[in-house]
Structures are given as structure tokens and as C-alpha cells.
């Protein structure tokens, strides 16, 4: 028997304006509904796992994006939908009216002059509308509805938990930009909370005060403070712990109209004591992204011409730093600019530089988004390769965003075999030297075996007499570039789409083999 949880009357009235779209399990969908109070169509994103059945109630996560972001962006956080698929969660991400509505956590107003005067109210209302729509359309377990959010969305998580405490089974504020007061947290004291925060994020001090407040209220909670963590990466690095936390918490039955008494430990526990001056800071927290990179455009490239394949190259540890010329020392950048007949002149090439050792998948994804916007890129032919540290980065980025790439080429790197499921449908060609004493060939072998055990097919080349520098021989093999261009981005079914002859898309070396009808 399904148990219906009472929604605010205004939300129920607004649901009649929604026209259901077809649900596509296993894919993130961009959807819209008519928001009558705002007189506009409102965007939201939805992910339904392949295991979903209308005959069985499913758990639901409401995910709130950060300032300046969007529903699709938080859905693309590495690992979110993959864990949702694994554990059978539906995930929905509302817009919150626009990218700066704060979900009501900063009051009913806010925003810019061009925004509605009741922006905060509309932002909160949008979340509740979307929740109502999904609960009406899909079979949702009313005792397993979870709320999580990053940055601004973390503040929205606190706010909506305190305002609608009888809905949520558990909360996950991630690097939260919290509301101005913790006074009303007592209203949400029965809700279990997992908080993730980087200790290098300026918001850490406010988050610690929220944690202290939870301790004072004797709330069930888990606090993960990530050593060296910034404002972004902790938001997706701990999805395993978040889903484990959600898996073990179900909302207990509630008696409507009965309010629990205020615990004695909470009386007078608020931090605004009479002897202190009351002040308010109001502002916006943004996360700047700066990625220096080398760019190669083919000689025949024209902005108004045909779209070109793009090759993203990730350097090794020795090229890290702030001197971009160091990226030219090894691999593909050392081969550019090219002679007229070079295979590389068939690609737009991006070669970013990592300031520190290691690669950040979120920043690289943002770089690709910007490149697609700026340059005439064939989005079905984006390829990824890297050497050594960049080989590790290739495995990690492809696992985080497998839908981005047509094929990948990790060279003398390694990855996490646990990510094989995300990689099993990608065309992959791995290179490694048998005598590599920097990154043992066993690191590549472990990835190849893990993918093959799940039914994936990987092309694996081991150079028997080569040490760490396996890239020189690999990148000088014309067959590598021919193999890349044979692949397009995966179709919806998950099977690779081989490139079809296209006179406009084949450049330079391949032009002779393609003639118009």
C-alpha cells in the first residue's frame, strides 16, 4: 500500500498545469513544466534507474545545484547517477526558479534588479512543485525521500529541511552556504544528516558552527571534513558515503498534528546571546575556474566550415606548474605544429596544464564545454588521451563523464578498477611499456581486466622493450589516429557508433577516399 504524504496546498494546485513527459530509464532527462505563479516554463532534470518499476515504490533524491549552476550540471557530478543506478534511486534536480534563487534560504526576496521581488519565494516553491510532480508521476517511497545540495544548494537543503521536516528521510548538505540563522534547526532535529566540507573552503567555519549546533540538539549526524578539500571536489568525492548513509535511513512514521517537545538542551542554545551584537553578512560565493591550455587548429579550419574532431591531451606530472611551455615537452604538443600530411592536422587539439599534480575532472569538463562553445567541434567525435599522470587522468575523466567521449587512449597510466562499469561501453586503446619502472604495466592490466570481466572490449598494446616512455611510439603510429576516427560517441543503446563516410567531415588525409554523389 502506498502512503501519501500531505503536500502544501499551493503545490497541489500547481500540479494540474504539468503535462507528463515520457520517462526514459538510465538517462538524465531535461524536462519542463508550466510554473503558473511565475508565468513561465520551468526546467528540471530527472534520472530514473533502469531497475524502476511502477509496481514498486522507489527512493527519491532531490538534488539542489549551486549558485550560477543548473539542474543538468549537478546531475553530471561524477558518480551521482552511477550510484543512483546501482542502488535504485530516482534523482530529480529542480532549477529553483533561476541560478541564484537560493531556494528561499536567504528570505523571500533577493536576486538582481531584473529578478522578481519574491525570487526566494518562487525558488522554494519551484522545488516543492517539482517534488510534487515527481511524486504524482512516479511510484515514490514516501518514507525514503532525501534532500541534498551543493553550496547554495546546501543552504537550500538546510532551509527546506527546517521548513518541511516531515518530508525528508535524511539530508546531505555539501560545502553548504547555509542560511543566516541556525535557530530553526531544532525543527529538523529528527532528520539524520551527513555533511561534507573541505577544510580549505572559506565556508568551513560556518559549517563547523552548524555541526556544533547539531551536537547541541543531539541530532544524528556524520561530519566529513576533507583535508585539503576545496569548495568543489568534496561535493562529489564522497558519494559512496552519502549513498551508504541514505541506504541506512528511512523516515519513521509521523503523527500529523503532534509536535515533539523542544529538548531541554536546545533551550537558549542559539548563538545570538544578548551580550553579542547582531550583524548580517550578505553576498555571493562563486568558484572561479582557470585552466591554461595550448590550442591547435587544423590548417583548413574555418569557423563557418564543417565541424572538426577534437583531441584532448593530458600531460604527465613533469609538465605541471604555471609555465605553459612545459606542456610542449612530451606527447602530442611536442609534435605540433604539424606538416601538411600529419594525422594530427585532422583534429582540433586541446592540451591543458594542471597547476598541481593530478587532474580535476570537473574543471576538464568545464574546459570541454567552453571549447565546444568557442570552436567548431564535432561533439560526436571528442577523443581523450594522456600520458603517465595524464593516463591516470584519462581513466578518471572518462569514468566521470563517459558520455562525453567517442574513444579514449590512456598511455602508461592507471585507474580504479571499480570504475570499470562506467567505461565498459567506451572504445579504449591502452598503451604501456613492459619495462616501465615508474608506473608498472600491472596498473593498465588491472583496468583492462576489470573492463573485460564486465563484457567490455579493450585494445591493449604492450611494448616489450619500452620503459615509461610508451607515448612516443604510440603517438607516431598513424594507425592510432585512423582508429580514433572510426569511432563516434555512443548511441543511446550503449553500442559504439562507427564513423560513417562524410565528405565534409573528412579532412586532408581522408579527403581522397571520399567523393560526393
3-state secondary structure 463-516: ECCCCCCCHHHHHCCHHHHHHHHCEECCCCCCCCEECCCCCCCCCHHHHHHCCC
Better-predicted residue by pLDDT, 503 or 481: 481
Ramachandran sector of residue 142 (left: φ over 0; alpha: ψ -120 to 50; beta: rest): alpha
CA dist 394 and 419 (Å) reads 12
Q: What is the CA radius of gyration of the chain?
A: 25
Backbone phi, psi, residue 159, to 5°: -60, -50
**Exposed e or buried b for every residue in 471-502, given b needs 16+ CB within 10 A?**
bbebbeeeebbebbbebbbbeeeeebeebeee
- What is the distance between the terminal CA atoms of the chain, rounded to a whole angstrom? 63
Per-residue pLDDT for 108 more than 70? yes
Backbone phi, psi, residue 369, to 5°: -60, -40
Ramachandran sector of residue 66 (left: φ over 0; alpha: ψ -120 to 50; beta: rest): beta
CA dist 72 and 465 (Å) reads 46
- Give residue 19's pLDDT: 43
- Say if CB 43 and CB 28 are below 8 A apart: no
- Give how far the C-alpha of residue 158 lies from the chain's centroid of Cα atoms, to the nearest Å: 21
Bridge partner list, 345? none
CA dist 268 and 63 (Å) reads 33
- Say if CB 156 and CB 104 are below 8 A apart: yes
Per-residue pLDDT for 357 more than 90? no
- Give residue 382's pLDDT: 97
The structure's pTM equals 0.51
Give Cα separations from 203 to 13, 178, 210, 289, 400 (angstroms): 38, 9, 11, 18, 26
Judged by average pLDDT, the poorest of 18-32, 54-68, 133-147, 408-422 is 18-32
CA dist 354 and 359 (Å) reads 6
CA dist 180 and 435 (Å) reads 59
Per-residue pLDDT for 104 more than 90? yes
> Which residues lie closer than 8 Å to 486 by C-beta, 6 or more apart?
498, 499
3-state SS assignment for residue 94: strand
Residue ranges of alpha helices (H) inside 116-203 are 119-137, 152-163
- Say if CB 217 and CB 263 are below 8 A apart: yes
pLDDT digits (tens, 9 = 90+) for 161-213: 999 999 999 999 999 998 988 989 999 999 999 999 998 888 888 999 999 99
CA dist 225 and 238 (Å) reads 11
Backbone phi, psi, residue 93, to 5°: -125, 105
**Exposed e or buried b for every residue in 353-379, given b needs 16+ CB within 10 A?**
bbeeeebbbbbbbebbeebbeebbbbe
- Give residue 282's pLDDT: 58
pLDDT digits (tens, 9 = 90+) for 440-466: 999 999 999 999 999 999 999 999 999
Better-predicted residue by pLDDT, 81 or 260: 81
- Which of 169, 148, 163, 161 has the alpha carbon at shortest distance from 239? 148
- Say if CB 172 and CB 182 are below 8 A apart: no
- Give residue 473's pLDDT: 96
CA dist 207 and 203 (Å) reads 6
What's the rounded mean pLDDT across residues 260-267?
Answer: 35
Judged by average pLDDT, the poorest of 1-15, 227-241, 410-424 is 1-15
CA dist 366 and 114 (Å) reads 27
Judged by average pLDDT, the poorest of 46-50, 130-134, 215-219, 496-500 is 496-500
Domains in the chain and their CATH numbers?
9-253 (3.40.50.1820), 293-513 (3.40.50.1820)
- Say if CB 159 and CB 105 are below 8 A apart: yes
Give Cα separations from 390 to 122, 358, 394, 437 (angstroms): 44, 8, 6, 17
In degrees, rounded to 5, the angle at the alpha carbon of residue 139 between the alpha carbons of residues 158 and 193 is 20
What's the rounded mean pLDDT across residues 18-46?
Answer: 86
Amino acid at each position: 500500500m502506498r502512503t501519501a504524504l500531505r503536500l502544501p496546498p499551493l503545490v497541489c494546485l500547481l500540479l494540474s498545469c504539468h503535462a507528463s513527459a515520457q520517462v526514459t530509464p538510465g538517462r538524465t532527462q531535461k524536462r519542463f513544466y508550466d510554473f503558473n505563479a511565475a508565468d513561465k516554463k520551468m526546467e528540471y532534470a530527472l534520472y530514473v534507474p533502469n531497475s524502476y518499476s511502477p509496481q514498486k515504490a522507489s527512493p527519491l533524491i532531490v538534488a539542489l545545484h549551486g549558485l550560477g549552476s543548473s539542474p543538468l550540471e549537478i546531475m553530471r557530478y561524477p558518480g551521482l547517477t552511477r550510484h543512483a543506478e546501482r542502488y535504485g534511486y530516482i534523482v530529480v534536480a529542480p532549477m529553483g526558479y533561476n541560478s541564484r534563487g537560493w531556494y528561499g534560504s536567504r528570505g523571500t526576496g533577493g536576486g538582481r534588479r531584473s529578478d522578481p521581488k519574491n525570487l526566494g519565494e518562487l525558488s522554494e516553491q519551484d522545488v516543492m512543485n517539482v517534488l510534487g510532480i515527481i511524486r504524482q508521476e512516479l511510484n515514490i517511497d514516501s518514507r525514503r525521500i532525501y534532500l541534498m545540495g551543493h553550496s547554495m544548494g546546501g543552504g537550500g537543503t538546510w532551509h527546506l529541511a527546517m521548513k518541511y521536516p516531515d518530508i525528508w528521510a535524511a539530508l546531505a548538505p555539501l560545502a553548504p552556504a547555509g542560511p543566516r540563522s541556525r535557530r530553526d534547526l531544532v525543527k529538523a532535529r529528527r532528520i539524520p544528516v551527513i555533511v561534507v566540507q573541505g577544510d580549505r573552503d572559506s565556508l568551513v567555519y560556518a559549517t563547523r558552527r552548524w555541526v556544533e549546533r547539531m551536537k547541541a540538539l543531539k541530532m544524528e549526524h556524520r561530519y566529513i571534513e576533507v583535508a585539503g578539500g576545496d569548495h568543489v571536489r568534496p561535493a562529489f568525492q564522497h558519494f559512496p558515503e552519502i549513498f551508504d548513509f541514505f541506504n541506512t535511513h528511512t523516515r519513521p512514521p509521523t503523527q500529523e498534528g503532534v509536535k515533539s517537545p523542544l529538548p531541554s538542551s536546545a533551550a537558549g542554545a542559539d548563538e545570538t546571546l544578548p551580550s553579542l551584537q547582531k550583524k548580517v553578512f550578505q553576498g555571493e560565493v562563486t568558484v572561479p575556474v582557470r585552466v591554461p591550455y595550448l590550442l591547435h587548429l587544423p590548417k583548413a579550419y574555418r569557423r563557418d566550415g564543417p565541424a572538426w574532431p577534437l583531441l584532448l591531451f593530458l600531460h604527465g606530472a613533469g609538465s605541471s606548474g604555471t609555465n605553459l611551455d612545459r606542456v610542449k615537452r612530451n606527447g602530442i604538443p611536442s609534435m605540433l605544429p604539424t606538416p601538411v600530411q600529419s594525422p594530427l592536422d585532422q583534429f582540433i587539439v586541446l592540451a591543458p596544464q594542471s597547476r598541481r599534480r593530478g587532474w580535476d575532472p570537473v574543471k576538464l569538463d568545464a574546459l570541454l564545454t567552453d571549447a565546444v562553445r568557442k570552436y567548431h567541434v564535432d561533439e560526436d567525435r571528442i577523443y581523450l588521451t594522456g600520458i603517465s599522470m595524464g593516463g591516470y587522468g584519462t581513466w578518471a575523466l572518462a569514468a566521470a563523464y563517459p558520455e562525453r567521449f567517442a574513444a579514449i587512449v590512456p598511455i602508461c597510466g592507471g585507474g580504479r578498477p571499480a570504475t570499470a562499469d562506467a567505461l565498459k561501453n567506451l572504445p579504449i586503446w591502452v598503451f604501456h611499456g613492459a619495462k616501465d619502472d615508474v608506473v608498472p604495466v600491472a596498473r593498465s592490466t588491472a583496468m583492462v581486466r576489470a573492463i573485460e570481466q564486465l563484457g567490455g572490449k579493450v585494445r591493449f598494446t604492450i611494448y616489450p622493450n619500452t620503459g615509461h616512455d610508451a607515448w612516443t611510439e604510440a603517438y607516431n603510429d598513424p594507425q592510432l589516429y585512423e582508429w580514433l576516427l572510426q569511432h563516434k560517441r555512443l548511441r543511446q543503446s550503449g553500442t559504439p557508433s562507427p564513423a560513417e563516410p562524410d565528405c565534409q567531415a573528412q579532412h586532408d588525409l581522408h579527403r581522397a577516399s571520399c567523393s560526393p554523389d
